[in-house]
Every structure is written in C-alpha cells, then in structure tokens.
A and B are shown apart, each in its own frame.
Chain A
C-alpha cells in the first residue's frame, strides 16, 4: 500500500495512452474484422442539386463479390427516417428531412444515392461503377445572400424558403444592457465591417468508419465518433429501435475537433444493411468521401458595427450574421452561431449589444461544430474590429483593449450578453505576453521598416480573448432549446486487490483522459496513479454520458469524478472506523489512509477495499460495496482567457506571409497536466493559424468541392508552422471544485484574429484595411495592389 505523497494534479505525467499508440497496438474502427463481415461502398451524387430520374442497380448486383445493392426505396420505403437535429433554435425553425439515402433529389455533391454490400471493400467499390443514375440538373444555390433573395430556387420545396431560422439577442429587450440603436445614433465614433469566416474542413486524421454486428443479443455498433452515448440515444429515436438492444462503442478514435459529433447517414445505413443481411457490416470512408460529406465548419458572413466615444470607451456592438447550414441540418448546427452570440462582447464592458443571425440552406455539404464552434467566429470579428476601431481612434490597439476590458477586481462580472464570468485576470496575461513578445521592441522595428520602405514589412497582431467552456449548464441549454442536458457522469469501482476502475461518460479521442483522469482520482483517493484504469467509450460499461466536445470533459466530467470519489470515501469511512475500532467521527482521511485522529493507527483505502470484498467483518447492516457514481451538472460555464501576440513578416512584393514569432499566454485555470495542456494549445494554435493563412473549402459554380482532397486542401505541415512560445497565468475557476476551465479550443479561438491583425498591421500604412481569409500570397498581394478592401 503506497500513498501518493505529492499531488498528482499539476504533474507533467507522461500519457498512459501513448505506449499503445507509439507501438501500433491500436483499435481503430477500421481494424475491426468479424466473421463473414461485409463491406459497404456508397455511391455519391456528383451533382450539387438534381432530381433523380432513375437508379439502375441491376448490373451492380451481378458484379463479383456483391451481396446486395440498396437504394432509398429498399432501406426506407416509407420515407420515415430523417437524420436528427438536436438544436431547434426557434419554435418555427425549418428542419428538412435528411434521408439516409436520397430518393428523389440530391441537395449537395456527395449525397448518397445507393449503397453496395460486398465481400471485400474493393469489390464494393468496383460495383459502384456499374450503378447507373439518371439525374436532371436543377439550379444550384451556393451563395447565402442569393439564397435568401426573392425568387431564388428553393432547395427544400416543402419548406418554401431557404431560411432555416432567425435568432436574435438584444440586450435592451433582455434587460442585460441598453439599446444598441440608440448607441449608434449617439455614437462619436462608429466602425462597421464585414468579415467572412470561410468554410473549413475539420480534417481529423482518422477517416470515419462504422462496424455493425447484428448477430448478438444486442446490435453492436463501433464507430469513430466523439459521441457514443448521444449516438445510441439518437439512433434509437431515429430508427425506432429499443435503446436497450443497442450497444455503441467508440474504440480508439483518431481525432474529432467537433467533426465527429454527428449522427451520420452512413452509421444508420450500416446498421440498416447489417440488420437486413444478418451479417456484420463495415463502412470505412476514403479521405475524398470524408472531405465531401463529413460536416464542414465556420462559413459565416459577419456584419459588425462597434461604437465608441472619442476617448475610446466602447458604447455599443451590433452583429448581423449569416450562417451557412449547407443542404441539411447537422446535429447542433443551428445552434453553433448561438455559441458565438454570447462571445462577441468578449472581455469588454460593452453597455449595449444586439446579435441577430439568419441560418441559411445552400447546396453544399452540411456545416456543424468545428473546434470552438461559434466562438472562434465571434472572437475573430470582435478582435479584428477592435484593431479597426483603434486605427479610427488613433490609439494603440492594446491600450484600447485595456481601456475597455473587465478589470481583475471586477469579477464575477455579468456581461451585456447575460453571462457571468466567474474569474479572470486579463492584465496579468497581457503583461506576461508583452514581456515574452518584446512588444515595444517590435513596434520600434516596425517603425524602422516602414521608414526605410523595407520590402518585407513587420506587423503585430493582438488577440485578447475569452471563451465559454464546460458545456454546459442543463438549464441554460434548455432555455436555448437544446435537446439534451449538459451534465456528465462518472463511476469509480474499487476492486478487491485495491486497484481502481474509473468509468467516465466523457469520450476521449486524443485528449489524454486516461492520464488526466487517473491523476485526479489518484489525488482524491490517495491511490497510486498506476493503480487506476480509466474506461470510456462503451455504452455497455459506461451507460451514462454526454461525451466530449466544447472543452467540457475536464470541467464537467472531471468534477463528476471528484464527486464520485467523495462518495467512495463516504462509504469506506465506516468500514475504516470499524476496522480501527473507533467512532466514524474520529476518522480522518489523507494520502490514501484513514487514520484515527491523534494516533498513528490507520488503514489504507486499498485495504478497506479488500475488507469490503471479503465482507467477513463489516459494521452491522453495511452494504458490502464501495463503488460509487456521480453526475455533475454545472451552474455556470467556465471562461478561459488569454493574450496572444503574433508578429508577421509580409513580403510586399510577393504577398507571402511568414510568422516571425507567436506568443500566447493562456489562463485555463488550474492545470491537471501541463504537458497535455501545452499540447492542446499547440494543436489549437495550428488550426487557428491554418484558418488565417491556409485552409478553405472551395466550391466551384456548380457546387463541386474543388478542395476535396489533401492535395487541394492546404492542411499545414510541420514546415508551414512556426515554433510557438506558450506560457500560462493561473486564475482558478470558481464554478467547479477543481478550479479548471478547459483548454481544448482556446488556441483555435484566439489565434486566427492575432494572425490576420498582424498581416493588416504590417500593411496598414499601404492602405490595406483587411485581407480576406485565408490570407494567401495572392490575396495579400491583391490587397496591397488595392484590389481588396
């Protein structure tokens, strides 16, 4: 029996997960092979909008190895099945039925029209070429503003409009602030901008895959998903299956970034085919299919107006958003802009605020949550326009921010959007970032380069951000019409030998929960880190969970662990008192030991576990079981924040941008594992910088995704990214007992505006006021030539 001496929380523990992952002992969904397993291949529409006149599958059925070919008529003859959307943001939101396979009409390039089941993946793929589909072209709707115009082709005729929903927040109406229209009328300074959030591809490295085994007492579904629990409920509801006859497993999952929170037509298709054929079936997509059909992210047009007094005090903020849903609705897609709605006001004290978003259908791949989901978009817009306002006021952009941000002594602070930020210290994070960055020195160099007309100009970009993490208080979700709660569940099982199994409802796919959760439980129970096994991602042993997204796992799931551990200790204490022959009130617990106060008599928790297992000598009436579980539902979100500073060098002759230095100081509250936190920040920065400089999902005029492979979509490589300087300040969250805030999305949220601000700052004196993302050499060069705003 070893008690852990120093706290595990805070240690840079190497990850438990890694030994398997670096040696190739992995369990990706595509690794699963079952006896008699069949393979699916999906025939996808090459057209973005067309009627299906006829589908002839007869030749494909005769192809070698083909067992069956299905169309919508076979899989859903009654046309009842529609993919779920869990977030009807308004009572009158338009929700088109998204079928598993298109029956009469395709609405985006990539939509499935038929599926082949064959003995091998290659044979299934071969058979696709033998399926003949006759399409009748329809006009494509690709531009959001055109989609809303009078007389435009309506994609879903039964809805009568391409408008999905309009959602408005107005601080005057909500009673959280003043009337923004009045602020605009009274404004001494007004700045208005339009920003585009280009469409992005989440591009998790493991393509999606599903295996369904219908041969057991339950239907077992393995899927490369972030949401095994939600998938189980949604599948049961969507297909009318009894939930208890469904087991969902997320084995090793190779990244998600929000991209794997969907309930997929392919998952349902695989299940339906497996049931029909009575055999295990696997669907494993190609990267090209993944790019075209896995949901995309961002894709918003943001019209933003900020007002201020001449001395730089912000008086109002107004945001009008268009958000592209694509052809149908993703699981949380209509609500993604709402996650941003509460964040446009960011870290600033803004007296009046109005936000309105219009969600629009187009003939494109659906959009949904992608790392940050709504919050990167909001942060980009406010941090970009803060720089524009600073120019208008002739103020240093950092000084303007400081003038308006919430001071550390003003927390908790209720914002104009109605959220109460529990804690933060923007001054400390900014001061540290300035030191690491040499802000004043770089400003001097910038002046010198401008003065000498250097062809390579230097720009400094700032982003002082906050975000709302720990999704989410169930009551808040309810008030926003979300279809589920935001709690998380944990269970702790004390094994006879003193080892501990921790079951979490979070579903890790790269975050390192096995390590971090072990650290938390090791401290709570005083058992060695090595004696803890963390189990996740299987509804059989983890029946309750809300899964992993929105930087929620640690703040919500981690807290559930703490509560479950407290219950284990509560159950163990009477046994310890009994074994030590003292009163329960005389027992104190520390470092894994129950001790009689004021004596050296003690018994370890792992010995108590053995005593409870043996059950030979327990207090009268004691139920022989230490296992405990707990569900935590947060009262509030958590609010990480930080200051990111980026220096870019822009070659004014070629438009090429290179990041000279990038400094970020993030405050994510208490840190469980600094190694993991740093890794999350690095990865987040890479994705945010990639939005600023490299990535864009581009459709041509016919609605074909032209950046549909990794050869065309510029996912940055190691050679495309700089070395980051990262540091932290630590202001504990007061909304959970661990004091943690979440770190999964911070880097992505903060970095995009820092980079674009730096590019514009480098070129400001040349008359450049904006560069549209991604800031490719071509766009930057055109901006310099005056071809852009």
Chain B
C-alpha cells in the first residue's frame, strides 16, 4: 500500500502503518508493535500536553488575577514548566516509615493508568482513534471512575490524618458526582442513539448536539461541566487536596516524581473531561456544519479536524480554569447538597425532557 498522508483524514495514514507492519512481520508481533507505537505516542502526547497545560493554567490564572505569571525562565516563561519537571525528577523520593509500602507506591500509577486507559477511546481526528468501542461513552465512564481508587489508596497508605481526610472526601465526592456525569452523558446518548464515539461524532455532521438538542443539551452540558470538574478534583471542588485545610490532602506525603504523577494526572483528567465534553456536546473533530448552508460548511471544512478537536478541548479547559480561579472552595456539605439536591434532580428531569424531545422529533 502506498504512503499517503492527509491532515484532513488520517485513515489512509494509519491504514498504511497497519498494512506495512503486517506485511513485514507475523501478525502477533505486528499487533505488539502497533500497541507499543500507540503507547509511546500517548506517552509523548501526555508529557507534552502536561507541560503545556501546567504553563497555560499558571498563565491564565495569573491574567485573571491581574498578575503576570511565570515570565523569567525563557521567553514568556515558556521553559518554566520544563524547569519544574527537571526539579521534580531530581528530587528525593521520601519513603514514609509507617506507610503501607506497596499501596503507597502503587497509588500514583493507578491514577495515571486510569487516565491512560480512558484516553484510548477519544477520537482525536478522523481516523486518529486508538480504540473505537461500540460502548465508548460507557467505557470512558467506567474507566475514569476508577481513578478514585488511586486517590483513596494514596490517602489510606500514607498513614497521615490529612491524607486520609482528603481521600475520604474525594471518595464521597466522586461517588456522588459520578451520577451526574453519567446522566448528563446519557442525555446525549439518548439524542445520538449510540454509545460509540465515532457514531456520535458522525451524528453531528449536520449540527453539533449542543445546538441540535437545544435546551436539554445545554443543561446537560452545564451539569457535565460542573460534575466533571468535581470528578477531576479541581477547584472549586478541590476538597481532596484543600491546601488551606489539609496541607495537600491525599498527596501530602508524596514527593518527587510520584507527586508529579498526581499532578500530571490532574491535568490529564482535565484534558480528558474537556475532550469528552468536546466530543459529545460540541462535535469532537467535526467542523461546524449547519444543515443547508453548503458554502459555509465547505469553508469550515478547510480547517483540519484535529484543530477543531483541540480548539474545542482547550476552550472547555479554559472555561474550567476560569471557574477554578473565580470561585472559592465549597464545604463538604455544600458539595453534597449541590449534587444530591440540585444537579441530580435537574439531570433526571433533563433526561426525561430529552427523551420526550427525541420521541416527538422536536430537535433540529
């Protein structure tokens, strides 16, 4: 198969890699090599994205607070996060005498692996999709909710009261908000009629779901944004680490690169949540198409899908940073009130409304 590469459609490129690997070696080894390639690509992507997101967050929050942000290391402070990474890599790994050694060491990896598992199902562009499950939305939900195990284990094994309180808070928080995340995604699954992420993206060819499903879709998006922020343990829901109350919460006892794993996982989860929101509500890599406006649709098609995907994801991450750096942290009872008394009932009514709209054909 001849080599061909197009930024608009990665299918032929990935097919070319696949075909040439299978032609070069036995099927088993070809599969292994493919897996390794995908793993390395995701690792590199993670490292770069993590560095970039930490920098972006620091800069964005600085601007929102009338500050300049990092600006000493390199032009615009670009190299700041690289310097931070080098510092974290060189730092001593402190072993806690009375910690549960195995769990203490395993916990950061669980948190990282969970976000790795979930990102495999995200469609980045046409044909750039590691694993297209027919239950993609369900898979992402199921996998990403395991992240709390890492947090709980970290808090428990540290043998420290602050860590334990942080972990317990995180447990209560994630168990509650998981419901809202799931239900708000189900609202869109009802509209899309599929859980497969590639089908969901294709279904938005004529119009993105947030516009297609109008009122219930917008409500679902807002609920998803709130609940998923809570699920990633980010402010204003960062009770699990609440630095003003619990020093650093569940990762108080972690140092060096193991701390960096938690730190990286927070940003990865934020990217993950933003990319799910972009895919499910805002069309993923699908350009903005409006049914009937052929000329407009053609113009939109000139922007490559991968830019659409990252543009949407970064915009949603910007919104998440925006409210992280605006709102004060909730108390644990306020947090649970928000979920059980407000988000969950609204969500249930919303699913019902969406089902009605789909049945009556009132969507665009």
The answer on A and B forming one complex is no
Interface set of A (CB-CB < 8 Å, partner B) = none
